[in-house]
Structure 1
Amino acid sequence: MAHLTRTLLRSTTLTALLVAMMGARSSQAAPAGMEQIETVVVIFAENRSFDNLYNGFPGADTYGDRAAQVLPQRDRDGSVLRELPPVWGGLTARGAADPITQAMSAHLPNQPFRIDDPQGFNRPLSTLTQDLWHRFYQNQMQINGGRNDMFVAWADSGALPMSTWDGSHMEMWQIARRYTLADHFFMGAFGGSFLNHQWLACACAPFYPQADTSPAQPVISAVSPSGTALRVAADSPRSALEGIPKFVRDGNLTPDFHAVNTMQPPYQPSANPAAPGQDPRYADPARATTLPAQITPTIGDRLSERAITWAWYAGAWNEVLEHGNHYPAPAFQYHHQPYNYYAAYAPGTPARAEHLRDGGLAGTRFIAAIDHGQLPQVSFYKPQGNLNEHSGNADIQSGDHHIADLIAHLEKSPQWPHMLVIVTYDENGGLWDHVAPPRGDRWGPGSRIPAIIISPYARRGYVDHTVQDTTSILLFLTTRFGLRPLDGVTARAHAIQAATGQPLGDLTGALDLK
C-alpha cells in the first residue's frame, strides 16, 4: 500500500489518481495546493462550438484566416459539395427586423463564413439566428469519424452550421485573455442540451425502463446497425443541396431505452403539465416525452455524502413556477434542469429545498449570493433562456454580457480569494468545429466547445491544450472534495486514456497551485 501511495502522489494529474483508484472511495487528501480552492462555480451557457466564437484567439488551435484550407463539407453520398446549401427558411430567426433570407444565403462557398463579416452579411453579435439540429445521432453523423465534414449534410439548417463570428468583440473573449482558455475541451456527450446537462450531473445517459411497452414507444429511434446513425427514410432528399434529410424515426430514446434527446422532467417545471387529478407538482406520466424519475447517483449525491454544500441555481426558476413560461423572456428551458429528473430531488423532499435554488430573473438571486459571500462550496448556475446564447432563443451579445457581469461580481465577492470559476457551454448547438473529438465511449465526447477557467489561481493569459470534456469538471470535484467517483467518470477517463495515451484533463493544467 505504501508503494501504491508513493506512485499515486508522483502522478502528474488528478485523472491518473482517479483511474488508479478504479471506483473505490477516495480517502486520500487532495494533492498539495488543492485545498486552497474552497469555492467552485460552474456557469453553463448554451450551444456554441469553439470555432463559432473563438476562431483566431491568440495561441489557440483555430483555423484562423485559412477558411479555404479546412476540409470541405461533403454531401450525403460522400462527394464534396460544390457550394453550401442555402440556410433553409433564412438565417435569422422568424420576425427579424432585418432578415437574412434563404435566397440571400444561397451559393456560399464550401467553407466557414462569418455572419458579422463587413464584406458579407454584416450582422452584429446581437443578431438572433434560427436554431439548428443538435441531436445525439446527428452529431455523430456530422463528426463523421473525426473528419467533421458532414455538418451540412445532416443538418436541418443548410449552411448555418458553418457560420462563425468575430469573437474578439465579446466581453468574455477579453476575460479569457486575462485568465485561461481551454482549447481542447469537448462536450461530454454527443448531441443536445438534455443529455449534456445530464452528463454534468451524473456522467450518464438516463434510462426509461420497458420503454417499448410504455407511452414512450413512439419516440424510440430507428438506428442503423452501427448504432451511431439514424436510418435514412426512403423519401429523404439525396443531396444536402435539395433539402433537409428525413429519417425513419428520429426519436428521443435509443433502441435499448436510454434517453439521449429531449425528454421532459417528471416534476414541475416541465413542458408536460400534470394529468387531470394528478398532483400539480408532477408531470403527466402518460405523455410520451415524460421521463420516469431517475435513481442513478449524481455528483450532487456524492457531494452530499461528504457534507459538501452545493446548489443548482436556475435563472427564472421561481418566475416560471409561479407565473409560467414566457417568450422571448425568460424563455425558460425545462430540460436544462438536470436534478429535476431525479427521485432524490422530488417535490417535497428536503434535498430539493436545499439544493434546487432560484437564480432569480436575470440571475439576481444568484448575484445576491455572490455579493454577500453566501455561495455554497459548489455552485452550478444556469442562465435563463434569453441570456444563455442558445441559437433561436438568445443572441450572443446578451448572454456574453450577462456572464461577463457575473464574473465581475465573482471577482469582487468575499469568497473570491479561494474560488475557481469554470465558464463553459453545454454543447455545440449543431455548429461546426474543425478539431476532431477524441474517441471515447458510446456517449461521447462530442464536438469541441469553449471553456474558460477563472480564478486567482488560474494561469494568466494562457491557453491550455489539454484534452478535456465536461467530465473534467466532475473529475476536479471528485478529487478536490474526496468523493466516490461516479461510474461514468471513471469509464470516460479510462476511454480517453486508451484512445489518446494521455489522461483526460482535470482542469488543473490551467491552475498554478503552490
Structure 2
Amino acid sequence: MPLPLRVKMSRIQSRSAHSPVNTLMWLAGVSCSLALGFAVQPHAHAASTLAPNAPDLSAIETVVVIFAENRSMDDLYRGFPGADTSANLPASAYLQKDRDGTVLPELPPIWNGITGRGAPNPITQAMTEHLPNQPFDVDDAKGFNLPLNSLTHDLWHRFYQNQMQINNGKNDMFVAWADSGAMPMAYWSGKNMQMWKIAEQYTLADHFFMGGFGGSFFNHQWLACACAPYYAKADISPAHPSIAVTDASGKALALAPNSPKSALEGVPKFVKDGNLTADFYAVNTMQPPYQPSGNAPAAGQDPRFADPTNATTLPAQTSPTIGDRLSEKSISWAWFSGAWEHVLTHGNSEPVPDFQYHHQPYNYYQNFAPGTAARAEHLQDGGLNGERFLKTIDRGQLPQVSFYKPQGNLNEHSGYADIQSGDNHIATLVHHLEKSPQWPHMLVIVTYDENGGLWDHVAPPKGDRWGPGTRIPAIIISPYARQHYVDKTVQDTTSILKFLTERFLLRPLEGVQTRDKAIQASTGQPLGDLTSALSLPVHNN
C-alpha cells in the first residue's frame, strides 16, 4: 500500500477510537472496576501547556511498555512491507570485513554450531562451514531448516564489542568482533510470527535504536534512568579485576598479543574485557545489590541483600529514575516482572522460569531497597508466565504507566529462549490489552532491550558516549496508532522516557536531554518521542 494512503487510512481509523461506542465501552469498564472495588486512578492532563495545534497527549491515559530480549530489526523483520530492511540491499551493502579491514572471502563457521540445549536435530560447526559472506535464513527449509521454536547459541552482546561491530556506522564488523563466527548474520522469516501481523495492523518503527551500546544489563538501566550506573572507587574495590582495558580511542578493547588475526581463525582475545569502564561506569552485566540477585547473601548478612564483596555486585545506585520522576507527580506506575514472587519464594530454575536478575533495573536503586514503601508499591510480581499481569490487564487495574518484563524462557533471548514462545506470549498480552477496559485511551510499546549481537544494516545516529546502539524492532499499538504504518522517525529507548516526560509533565532526566541534543546535532531533528506513530486529537487552546 502506498505510504500516503496508509497515513490517510490511519487517520480515518484513528478517529474511530473516539466513537460513541468506544466511549461507552470505556465508561462501562470504569463502572465495572468501581463495582469490583478497584481504584480508578486520576489522570494528569498536559493539555493546558500545549501550544495551539499540538497533539493533545492527554488522550493517552495508560502507557504499557513490554520489553523483550536481544533481537535486531533485520533479524526478525527482514522484508517487512514498507520497512528499511536488508532484504532491499545489494550484496555489496552487507559484506562483512575481517579484523584487518579486508572483505572476508566467506563467513567463518559458527563456532560450536547453531543449536542450543535439547536440539532434536543439532546443527554442528562443520555444517556451517563456507557460508557466503551475506545474511542467511536460519529457518529456510532448503538450508538449516530450524523452526522459530528452536534454541540457538548465544552471541556476544557487550558494550565495547557492539561499538567495534558497528564500526563507525558501517556495520561491517559484526562477524569480526563476535564469539560465534557467522551467527550475527543469521535472520528468521518473521512472517510467521504473531507480532509481525500485529505490526502490520498498527505501526512498526523502523528507525528505533537500543538506548545504550551492548547488553541487557546496560539497556535496562537505560530504560530506567537513561544513565550509566557508577561504581565509586572501583579501583580499590572487589570489582577491580573487572575494569576493562581499552585502546587509545576508549571505544574499543585492547587486543591481546595472542588474539587470532582473522575471524576465520577463531574468537578474538582481549587484554581485559570487563564490566566497568576505566572511569568506573558499569556497562556490562553486574548483579543487583538486593535479592533476587545472581549473588547470594554473605554469611551472617541480611538475607535480603547480595554479598557486597562479590566482584559483580553493584553498589546501590542513587541516580534519579523515570520511576522517581513519575512518583514526584503522583503518577501511578509499576515494574511488573514475570515470576518475581515465584523466584523469591521458590528460587530460580532452568529452563522455567529462567529468571534473569539483571533484567530488573529498579532492584539496583537505593530508593527501592528492601523494606521501603516504594519497593512494595512499584516492584510488582507479573506472575509465573505473566498470569498476574494478565489478570491486572483484564480487570482494568493497570497503573498509569506499566513496564512488563517477561520471565527468561518467554523473552526471546538467544541461548536460553526461543522466538516462538516469546512471540506467542507477547501477542497474548497485546490481545488482552486490546480487550481491556483501559484500552480506549492506551498506548502500548513492544520493543527489545538490545540486538543480542545480531547484525543490522542501518547505521545508528551519532549520539553520546553511551549510545544509541544497534537498531531494534519497536511496535506502537494503540487506538490512536496509525494503522498499517511504518514510522521512519529516528528514535531510541530514551524516546519512551521522552514521551512519558512530555505526557505527564515530568522533570526531565539529564540523560534524556543529553541524548536528545546529540541526536538533534547529528540528524538535524530532535529525538523522536513516539508521537509520530500516533493520530492524536489536536489541542486548540
TM, length-normalised to structure 2: 0.89
Q: Distance in 1 between matches of 2:121 and 2:408?
A: 22
Could you say what secondary structure the match of 1:43 adopts? strand
Displacement, 1:65?
Answer: 5.6
Q: Distance in 2 between matches of 1:324 and 1:345?
A: 21
What's 2:72 paired with?
49
Residue 98 (structure 1) aligned to one of 121, 128, 131: 121
What's 2:130 paired with?
107
Could you say what secondary structure the match of 1:40 adopts? strand
What whole-Å deviation, never above 9, does each CA across 1:301-352 have from its counterpart, x for those lacking one? Answer: 0000000000000000011111111001101000000000000000000000
Q: Give the gaps of 5 or more residues in structure 2.
A: 1-45
Displacement, 1:29?
Answer: 2.8
What's 2:505 paired with?
482
Could you say what secondary structure the match of 2:220 adopts? helix
Displacement, 1:238?
Answer: 0.7
- Is residue 459–residue 510 contact of structure 1 (8 Å, CA) maintained in 2? yes
What's 2:87 paired with?
64
What's 1:435 paired with?
458
The one-letter code matched in structure 1 to 2:521 is: A
Q: Distance in 1 between matches of 2:47 and 2:515?
A: 21
Could you say what secondary structure the match of 1:262 adopts? coil
What's 1:282 paired with?
305
Q: How does 1:334-345 map to 2 (within 5 A)?
A: 334-345=357-368
Whether 1:378 aligns to 2:401 is yes
Q: How does 1:410-449 map to 2 (within 5 A)?
A: 410-449=433-472
- Is residue 229–residue 282 contact of structure 2 (8 Å, CA) maintained in 1? yes
What whole-Å deviation, never above 9, does each CA across 1:398-431 have from its counterpart, x for those lacking one? Answer: 0000000000000000000000000000000000
What whole-Å deviation, never above 9, does each CA across 1:14-51 have from its counterpart, x for those lacking one? Answer: xxxxxxxxxxxx99635542111000000000000000
Q: Distance in 1 between matches of 2:49 and 2:113?
A: 55
Displacement, 1:358?
Answer: 0.3
What's 1:363 paired with?
386
Displacement, 1:70?
Answer: 2.4
The one-letter code matched in structure 2 to 1:118 is: A
Q: How does 1:29-428 map to 2 (within 5 A)?
A: 29=49, 31-64=54-87, 66=89, 68-428=91-451
Q: Distance in 1 between matches of 2:347 and 2:96?
A: 42
Aligned length: 489
Q: Distance in 2 between matches of 1:67 and 1:311?
A: 45
- Is residue 356–residue 408 contact of structure 2 (8 Å, CA) maintained in 1? yes
Could you say what secondary structure the match of 1:44 adopts? strand
Displacement, 1:393?
Answer: 1.1
Displacement, 1:117?
Answer: 1.1
Task: Tell me: CA distance 1:379–1:425, structure 2 relative to 1, closer, same or farther (3 Å).
Answer: same
Q: Distance in 2 between matches of 1:340 and 1:28?
A: 35
Q: Distance in 2 between matches of 1:354 and 1:66?
A: 49
Q: Distance in 2 between matches of 1:105 and 1:366?
A: 41
Q: CA RMSD in A?
A: 1.1
Could you say what secondary structure the match of 1:194 adopts? helix
Q: Give the gaps of 5 or more residues in structure 1.
A: 1-25
Q: Distance in 2 between matches of 1:176 and 1:291?
A: 37
Which stretch of the first structure deviates more once superposed, 375-384 or 93-102? 93-102
Which stretch of the first structure deviates more once superposed, 119-128 or 63-72? 63-72
Displacement, 1:94?
Answer: 3.5
Q: Distance in 2 between matches of 1:440 and 1:457?
A: 30
Q: Distance in 1 between matches of 2:280 and 2:299?
A: 27
Q: Distance in 2 between matches of 1:65 and 1:439?
A: 24
What's 1:9 paired with?
none
Q: Distance in 2 between matches of 1:252 and 1:329?
A: 27
The one-letter code matched in structure 2 to 1:282 is: F
The one-letter code matched in structure 1 to 2:421 is: S
- Is residue 27–residue 482 contact of structure 1 (8 Å, CA) maintained in 2? no
**Runs of 4+, deviation exceeding 4 Å:** none
Task: Tell me: CA distance 1:369–1:448, structure 2 relative to 1, closer, same or farther (3 Å).
Answer: same
Displacement, 1:95?
Answer: 3.6
Could you say what secondary structure the match of 2:87 adopts? coil
What's 1:492 paired with?
515
- Is residue 67–residue 111 contact of structure 1 (8 Å, CA) maintained in 2? no
Q: Distance in 1 between matches of 2:528 and 2:321?
A: 20
What's 2:495 paired with?
472
Could you say what secondary structure the match of 1:146 adopts? coil
The one-letter code matched in structure 1 to 2:184 is: P
Displacement, 1:225?
Answer: 1.1
